[in-house]
Structure 1
Amino acid sequence: MNILIIGNGGREHAIGKKLLEDNHYINIYFYPGNGGTSMIGKNIETKYSLLELGFFAKKNLIDITIVGSEVFLIEGIVDIFQKLGLKIIGPHYLAAKLEGDRIFSKSFMKKYGIRTPKYNIFYSYKKAIRFLDKTTVSLAIKTNGIAGGKGVILTHNKNEAKKALETIMIKKKFGKSGNKIIIEEFLQGKEASIISIFNGKQIIPFLSALDYKKIGENETGMNTGGMGAIVPNPYMTNAIWIDFQKNILMPTLEGLISEKLTFFGFIYFGLMITSNKVYLLEYNTRIGDPEAQTLLPLMKSNFLDIIQSFFINKKVSIFWKKLCSCCVVLSSKGYPEKHENGQIIIGLDSLKDPFYIAGAKKEKEKWITSSGRVLNIIGLAPTIKEARKKAYSKVEKIQFNKLYYRKDIGLYKE
């Protein structure tokens, strides 16, 4: 069997490793992949348009394509591949707007009574400033389009809010993503990520995860694509889980079917848990990163069987190991802004699984950094505390110039 995985990060390396662990007979292609994926499959190094990539998949008899990166989904890769008669995991162009267009997503939530923070939409900087002049509360200011997981600025006073607005709408830090914005009420609480599979008829959730999005310890500084995660999320109680299913998951399923937004793929619920309720902050229409790297080592079920169940209309159950997982992301100092690549990594060849390469490549038998997020180091153990200890003991074995990582991943208040 030939499988194509789209993307170039730790998530795609994790998906490939899990598929091979369960099914030794498969061949995996990655587009464009990274240094880690080249060790377990074949990286496609030629730069293709989406249509050319579809022709490549047909020519190379690709049985299933799995899209990791949201960029390709929002550009409509699923529609193109399906027109070519190819099997692909992910949402069609309109369903991908649930992630790629926050205004579309918020309207969907409102229509189907999905609990989400109060919000206002602005197309004009002047109107947004006038709104800020009338408010004093903490706010979340969000770009409408995707911005690599970084297009959200949390503000705690009027000056911070105005500065955020200027950054997004005037300075265009996030490009066209900031042409339209959402100003949302800021909720105090604990975040949770629920990745689920969607087979067009039902949504089957994975274990809950806690993602650490900020660059600095104690969740300070800029948003990133994720600096670590733990599974299960210690704040996801039974009562909150029931609330999530009733007020978020079930109305989402109803809306997807009613609006003809059905597809075979993944839905990620980005949640905020307050003192007694759970709110939906955002959808992603693919597996999260670094949640995938934290979850997949815990999956007991055959991942390929789960994916194939979409196409043969088979009901699926997912089984998990009775363990906890802690993922620590090692990055280049300066990320998510300016950082230097090309640093030699010491200790990688002796690192024990599970770990995943996010931004590194091998040159002349040496591993060197090639991106802001470099490595994902995983610890598995019966408790979060032990899993955390294992992860950080593995982190200590890695060295490279200007290495940065958070030291508080997995720490939480009981």
Structure 2
Amino acid sequence: MNLLVIGRGGREHSMIMKLAESAKADRIYAAPGNGGISEIAECVDIDEMDINRLLDFAEKKEIDLTIVGPEDPLLAGIADQFRAAGLSIFAPEKNAALIEGSKQYAKAFMEENGIPTAAYASFSDANEAKAYIEEQGAPIVVKADGLAAGKGVIVAQTVQEATAAVDDILIDKAFSEAGSSIVVEECLAGKEFSLMAFVHGTDVFPMIPARDHKRAYDEDQGPNTGGMGAYAPAEDISSETLAYASENVLQKAADGMVAAGRSFTGILYAGMIMTDERPKVIEFNARFGDPETEVVLPLLENDLLQVFLDVLDGTNPSLQWKDQSCAGVVLASKGYPGNYQKGVKLPEMNVDARSFVIHAGTRKTSEGVVSDGGRVLLAGAKGADLSEAADCAYKWLAENLYSEAFFYRKDIGKDQ
């Protein structure tokens, strides 16, 4: 089969590494790909949002299956256009991807379908939002309604911090049109975890739970980022909790989408928090999480391409998982998630049997691979348990990638 993976980050590199193991994968194209992806797939210089060119490419190259990594093309309707042209694509259509594209829609959807989540209110008027925050008190969470690359969420510890966030989003437009309205919700206490599932209509096939680390610095300090590291499985999440989340979150969401005329095909991601009562949903995403994908897929025993085909065909893929743990640490450009330097040359990188490297923000030049983003790469490793996996990933980073131009958290996987 000829495959096309759309995207340029670590999530796409991880997917392509797994797809490349399949005997059914003849040629894999990536649009636009990155420096690491170019080593195992043919990178095509087409932007993720240039849907007409992507469609034309897929038709000319007789692509048998397209897989979409990032969220922006989903909300732009790439799946709708590909299916209208008779092309097979593993991705939700625009009206289904709204579960990620609008936090207001997602909260109302959860309320309507009895999916456990935090109490909330939505606002487009800054003064009304501030009055609500004064009434509720802190800590409290302020979220930009639309897509903000994982950075539009402020967990405010004081009322002053929350009202400042309202001004940043609604008045100063810190997240552009993504912040034309906001959701203000109660701050839930507990340990977070991510649960992803392969979904097609009402068919739901959950993966193992993972945990990512959003804050930029150790001990969950600093601004929110797209993710500074992750591990899987999150072993403190019991089988009973997973069964509850699968039935009352993922399955209810899939059923609710079908009932709403927004049938979902693709990866449904539930970001959850384990409260004293039960797990509750923080957010839904309409695609593989990043960096969770990079630690979940290495533990998947199945042929990933066959899983996609089975799910699209309405067949149970019978997911099997390695009896191991996997940890991944993100190497980020100094200054991320703010301003940072690009074009820093990366050294030659060698991995052993347990470790692996996933490229996120890199590009290939005539002089070698250079940094090209805030999150540059992820150093990952598998082990008999989480401690062994994390130690291996950190050992590899220390030996291979020390540079004043980059930084990474030192406590990924140390919280369990």
* CA–CA separation in structure 2 for the residues paired with 1:197 and 1:46: 27
User: How far off its partner does 1:163 sit?
Assistant: 1.1
Distance 1:40 1:24 in 2: 15
Query: SS where residue 304 of structure 1 aligns?
Result: helix
Give the counterpart letter for 1:393 in structure 2. Answer: K
Please state if 1:251 is matched with 2:262.
Answer: no
Q: Which moved more, 1:46-55 or 1:178-187?
A: 46-55
1:179 is matched with: 180
Give the AA of the match of 2:217. G
Aligned counterparts of 2:374 and 2:301: Cα–Cα separation in 1: 31
* Kept after mapping to 1: 8 A contact 2:2/2:25: no
User: Which residue in 2 is equivalent to 1:45?
Assistant: 45
- Contact 2:327–2:390, Cα closer than 8 Å, also in 1: yes
Q: How far apart, CA to CA, are the structure 2 residues paired with 1:409 and 1:205?
A: 24
1:353-400 alpha-carbon deviations (Å, 9 max, x no partner): 522111112323422111110111111011101111111011112133
Following superposition of structure 1 onto structure 2, how do residues 14-413 of structure 1 map, counting pairs within 5 Å?
14-23=14-23, 25-47=25-47, 49-348=50-349, 350-352=350-352, 353-396=355-398, 397-413=400-416
In structure 2, do the counterparts of structure 1 residues 71 and 142 end up closer, same or farther at CA, with 3 Å as the change threshold?
A: same
Instruction: Write out the 4+ residue segments of structure 1 that deviate beyond 6 Å after TM superposition.
Output: none
Kept in 1: contact 2:24–2:305 (CA 8 A): no
Q: Deviation at 1:215?
A: 0.6
Q: Structure 2: how far apart are the matches of 1:367 and 1:149? A: 26
Contact 1:3–1:28 at 8 Å: present in 2 too?
A: yes
Q: Which runs of 5+ in 2 are unaligned?
A: none
Tell me the amino acid that sits aligned with residue 158 of structure 1: V
Determine the C-alpha separation between the residues in 1 that align with 2:403 and 2:248: 46
Contact kept in structure 2, 1:346 and 1:400, CA below 8 Å: no
The 8 Å contact of residues 344 and 400 in structure 1, kept in 2 or not, is answered as no
Note if contact 2:359-2:376 (Cα within 8 Å) is conserved in structure 1. yes
Q: Is residue 141–residue 155 contact of structure 2 (8 Å, CA) maintained in 1?
A: yes
How far apart, in 1, do the equivalents of 2:25 and 2:381 lie? 27
**SS at 1:269's partner residue?**
strand
CA RMSD of the aligned region, Å? Answer: 1.4
Please tell me the residue identity of whatever aligns with 2:275. T
The alignment's TM-score, normalised by the length of structure 1, stands at 0.96
- The letter for the 1-side match of 2:43 is N
Contact 1:347 1:399 in 2 (8 A): no
> Which amino acid in structure 2 is aligned with residue 16 of structure 1?
I
The 2-side partners of 1:252 and 1:140 are apart by 23
Provide Cα deviations, 1:153-209, integer angstroms capped at 9, x if missing partner: 000111111111111111111111111000000011110000100022311100000
Give the Cα separation in 2 of the matches to 1:411 and 1:77.
Answer: 39
- After superposition, the Cα gap between the structure-2 partners of 1:89 and 1:24, relative to the gap in structure 1 and judged at 3 Å, is closer
Q: CA deviation at 1:46?
A: 4.1
- C-alpha separation between the residues in 2 aligned to 1:387 and 1:49? 39
Deviation at 1:25, TM superposition (A): 4.6
Moved more, 124-133 or 137-146: 124-133
In structure 2, C-alpha distance between the alignment counterparts of 1:234 and 1:263, rounded to whole Å: 28
Cα deviation, residue 311, structure 1: 3.4
Matched residues in 1 for 2:305 and 2:411: separation?
Answer: 34
Q: Secondary structure at the match of 2:155?
A: strand
Counterpart AA for 2:33: G
Quote the Cα distance in structure 2 between the aligned partners of 1:250 and 1:42: 36
Task: Give deviations 1:204-238, integer Å, cap 9, x for gaps.
Answer: 10000011011111112111111000101133112
Contact 1:7 1:69 in 2 (8 A): yes
Preserved CA contact (<8 Å) 2:326 2:389: yes
The one-letter code sitting in structure 2 at the alignment partner of 1:381 is: G
Question: Aligned residues, how many?
Answer: 412
- For residues 46 and 317 of structure 1, the distance between their equivalents in structure 2, rounded to whole angstroms, comes to 35
Displacement of 1:401: 3.7
Q: Quick one: distance in 2 between partners of 1:311 and 1:232?
A: 26
8 A contact 2:46–2:54 mirrored in 1:
no
Percent same amino acid at aligned positions? 34
CA contact (8 A) 1:343 1:400 kept: no
| Unmatched segments (≥5 aa) in structure 1 | none
What secondary structure, in the 3-state scheme, does the structure 2 residue paired with 1:34 have? coil
